[in-house]
Structure 1
Amino acid sequence: MSLIEPISRKLIRLGKLYQSLLAKSTEHLDVNRYHYVLSLIYHHDGQLSQKALAEILDKDKSAMVSIINLLTAKGFVYRENNPNDRREQLLKVTEKAKLAVPQIVASIKNINTDITHGISDDDMKVFERVLLQMQNNIKPLITT
C-alpha cells in the first residue's frame, strides 16, 4: 500500500506560504492574518453585518466576534447599530483601515501575479473551476 498525501495538505502548505508572504509584505500595517476579512468589510462600505460576514467566510459566530474584536482593538473596524434593525450591527472601517486596505489589495494583487507567473489564464480558470468542483463535491459528504 502506498502513502497518499491528502489534497488538503497541499492546499494548507500553499495557504501557509501565501499568508506568510502576505504578512511579510504588509507587516507595517499590523493587520495580522485578517487581511481578507478587513478587505471584505471595506468593500461592503458599512452595509455588512457581523452575521453576514460570518456566512461569507463560513465562520461560526464566536470566531467572527473574536476576529472583529481584534480588528476593533487594532483600530481598523467599529460596529454601528443598523438603523433599520437594532438587533443587527453593521461593520464599518476607520480612517486607518481606509489607508491600509488599498495597500493590502495591492499586496494581494502582486503576490497573485508573482505566484501565477508562467501559468496561463486558461490554466488558472481550470484551477479555479477544479477547486470549486472539489468544494461542491465535498459539501454533501460532510453533511451525511
Structure 2
Amino acid sequence: MLLRQVRSRLGRRGIFLLILGVGKTCWGASFLFDPPDGAGLQLLTSMCDLRHWAWLWIVCGLATTVSAFLRIGRDRYGYVAALIPPTVWAVAYLAAVITGDYSRGLWVAIWYLTSHVGVIMWAATVPEYSVPPMPRRARKSEGA
C-alpha cells in the first residue's frame, strides 16, 4: 500500500530521479570509504584527493533524490544535478587521454557520456504521461 502511494506520488520521472540519486550518493560514498587508485583522474586529483571529489557525487546525488519528490518542472534541478558528476568524470578521462596518462580513458569517457549523461538528458525530456492511449479497436476486442 505504501509503495503504491510513493510510486503514484513520484511518477515515472520521480522514480527515475530517485534511482539516480540513490545510485550517485552510493557511488560517492564508495570513494569515501574505499577510494580507487585514481587511474585516469589525474586532472581531478591534481586539485584535491578523490575523497573530496566524493562529495560532488554525494551532494549531487542527494539533490537528485530530493528533486524526485518535486513537481514536474521543478524536478529539472535534479536532472541538472545528476548531470554534473558524470560530466566532470568524462572531462577528466578525456584530459587523461589527451595528455597520454590513461589511454583507456577514451572508452571510459564515452561510457560516462552515453550511459550517464545521454540517458539523463533523454529522460529529462520524457513527459510524465507519454504512453499513448490504447487503440479503440483493441479496447473493444478485449471484452469480447
More helix by share: 2
TM-score bracket relative to the smaller structure: under 0.3
More strand by share: 1
TM-score normalised by the chain length of structure 1: 0.25
Bigger CA radius of gyration:
2
